[in-house]
């Protein structure tokens, strides 16, 4: 069979070969001792080789980097109240900076199995290290799971409004998204998920507890119902510490179609160092091991995460401070007639902006006062703002700015 016959008829690369011929140049390629010549049109552009499903990919909209934000607002980073990305305003325990300062062997590649960290995580979570995989943030694990499970054309179930990386990574991996929007009050539409699984035969469903951006929890009953379906369930617990509820890490030993994701970004103030982790059933984790980038967790990231776990009292104290502050922020937000805050189990509060006020304008006015919040103008979330919980003094600055711009 000639290699040309292997080209799928519908492949857009075939249109490249059928395009009007441009001036050409001769290339010599050496392969062992075999030299071959190929003809390269001079107008060849790198973009012509992009996989078709990526051609229309909408880029992910990340949060503006702190230094750039600081320059744009004309304010020093310390004068910006950054409540737009659910970061931990207290940062990591002091042991982290000490450990980073005395880090050994940054010139040597890290342990591809992150053994030290996984052993410490086993102690922290009560789940054996063989079930645990560490990633460059939970973000990497979301993508890794999809890369290992999805063929182009496969489907995932997404329950918007939720963390937008699920839909983004699905698009990157050539999968399509079956949306099962949340009910009013942001509860999961469990019968809707059951129906979607029966109708569309998706491979994965992403659930988030507490959910970003509203802070709702997934109940045991909801999770158990969804786990009965023929689908891999990824339960993202990035904010579980703030819910004062136990993590379901241990459930992966009972349910072979369940993955739990967690992160050091929120609980340990390590968002900038990128460390996430997950609990996986053994039947799945072995394939993720094979497919992951060998050195995905840097030496610095592993050192920092291990050091953070040596000070559980600090982590607990910071969590309690944020939970207390969340409750104070919630009651203060209720005093503003144009805001309707939703009760949250995470380190942020979502508010509907009511009346004639615009969430976008509110966000822009707050930014001029040096206070950053997130706003939403989406199909499932029109005219909302989300405020991350800060330190008490940051809440006070935010509240004064809100009163001023209202
Ligand atoms: C629900 C959810 N999952 C995962 C992440 C990403 O976590 P990480 O920083 O570990 O990549 C976020 C970040 O905001 C999130 O909101």
Mean pLDDT, consecutive 10-residue stretches, the chain (406 aa), reads 36 34 43 53 84 88 84 90 97 98 95 98 98 98 98 96 97 97 96 98 98 98 98 98 97 98 98 98 98 97 98 98 98 97 98 93 95 93 97 98 94
Angle between helices 220-227 and 190-200 (to 10 degrees): 10
H runs (alpha helix) in 93-235: 94-101, 115-125, 137-149, 165-172, 190-200, 220-227
Q: Is 174 left (phi over 0), alpha (psi -120 to 50) or beta?
A: left
- Is residue 206 within 8 Å of 156, Cβ to Cβ? yes
Residue by residue, what is the 3-state secondary structure of 15-83?
A: HHHHCCCCCEEEEEEEECCEEEEEEEECCCCHHHHCCHHHCCCCCCCCCCCHHHHHHHHCCCHHHCEEC
Q: Determine the Cα–Cα distance for residues 280 and 174; give it in Å rounded to an integer.
A: 24
Ligand 1 pocket, residue 347 CB under 6 Å: no
Ligand 1 pocket, residue 238 CB under 6 Å: yes
Ligand 1 pocket, residue 209 CB under 6 Å: no
| Nearby residues of 58 by Cβ (< 8 Å), 6 or more positions away | 171
User: In 335-378, which ranges are E strands?
Assistant: 339-341, 348-353, 371-372, 374-378
Ligand 1 pocket, residue 139 CB under 6 Å: yes
Our measurement of the distance from residue 314's CA atom to the centroid of its chain's CA atoms, rounded to an integer in Å, reads 25
136 C-alpha to ligand 1 centroid (Å): 11
**Per-residue tokens: 69:** 């934000």
Ligand 1 pocket, residue 162 CB under 6 Å: no
pTM (predicted TM-score): 0.89
Q: Determine the Cα–Cα distance for residues 238 and 86; give it in Å rounded to an integer.
A: 10
H runs (alpha helix) in 292-391: 299-309, 312-333, 359-368
262 C-alpha to ligand 1 centroid (Å): 8
Q: Determine the Cα–Cα distance for residues 133 and 377; give it in Å rounded to an integer.
A: 35
Residue 69: the pLDDT is 86
């Amino acid at each position: 069979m000639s290699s040309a016959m292997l080209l799928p008829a519908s492949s857009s690369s075939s249109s490249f070969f059928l395009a009007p011929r441009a001036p050409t140049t001769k290339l010599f390629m050496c392969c062992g001792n075999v030299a071959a010549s190929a003809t390269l049109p001079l107008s060849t552009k790198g973009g012509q080789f992009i996989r078709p499903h990526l051609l229309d990919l909408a880029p992910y909209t990340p949060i503006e980097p702190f230094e750039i934000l600081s320059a744009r607002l004309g304010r020093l980073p310390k004068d910006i109240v950054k409540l737009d990305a659910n970061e931990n305003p207290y940062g990591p325990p002091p042991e982290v900076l000490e450990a980073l300062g005395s880090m050994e062997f940054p010139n040597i590649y890290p342990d591809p199995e992150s053994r030290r960290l996984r052993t410490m995580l086993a102690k922290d979570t009560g789940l054996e290290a063989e079930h645990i995989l560490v990633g460059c943030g939970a973000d990497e694990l979301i993508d890794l799971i999809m890369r290992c499970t999805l063929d182009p054309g496969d489907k995932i179930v997404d329950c918007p409004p939720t963390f937008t990386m699920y839909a983004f990574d699905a698009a990157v991996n050539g999968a399509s998204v079956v949306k099962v929007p949340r009910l009013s009050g942001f509860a999961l539409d469990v019968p809707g998920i059951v129906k979607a699984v029966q109708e569309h035969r998706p491979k994965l469903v992403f659930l988030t507890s507490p959910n970003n951006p509203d802070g709702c929890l997934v109940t045991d009953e909801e999770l158990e119902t969804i786990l009965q379906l023929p689908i891999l369930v990824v339960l993202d617990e990035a904010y579980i510490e703030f819910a004062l509820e136990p993590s379901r890490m241990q459930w992966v030993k009972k349910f072979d179609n369940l993955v739990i994701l967690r992160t050091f970004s929120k609980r340990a103030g390590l968002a900038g160092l990128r460390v996430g982790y997950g609990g996986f059933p053994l039947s799945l984790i072995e394939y993720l091991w094979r497919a992951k980038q060998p050195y995905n967790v840097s030496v610095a990231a592993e050192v920092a995460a291990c050091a953070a776990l040596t000070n559980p009292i600090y982590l607990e104290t910071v969590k309690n401070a944020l939970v207390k502050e969340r409750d104070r922020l919630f009651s203060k937000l209720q005093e503003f007639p144009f805001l309707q805050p939703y009760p949250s189990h995470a380190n942020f509060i979502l508010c509907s902006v009511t009346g004639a006020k615009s969430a976008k304008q509110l966000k822009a006015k707050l930014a001029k006062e040096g206070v950053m919040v997130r706003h939403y103008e989406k199909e499932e979330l029109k005219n909302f703002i989300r405020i991350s919980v800060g330190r008490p003094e940051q809440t006070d600055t935010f509240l004064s700015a809100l009163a001023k711009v209202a």
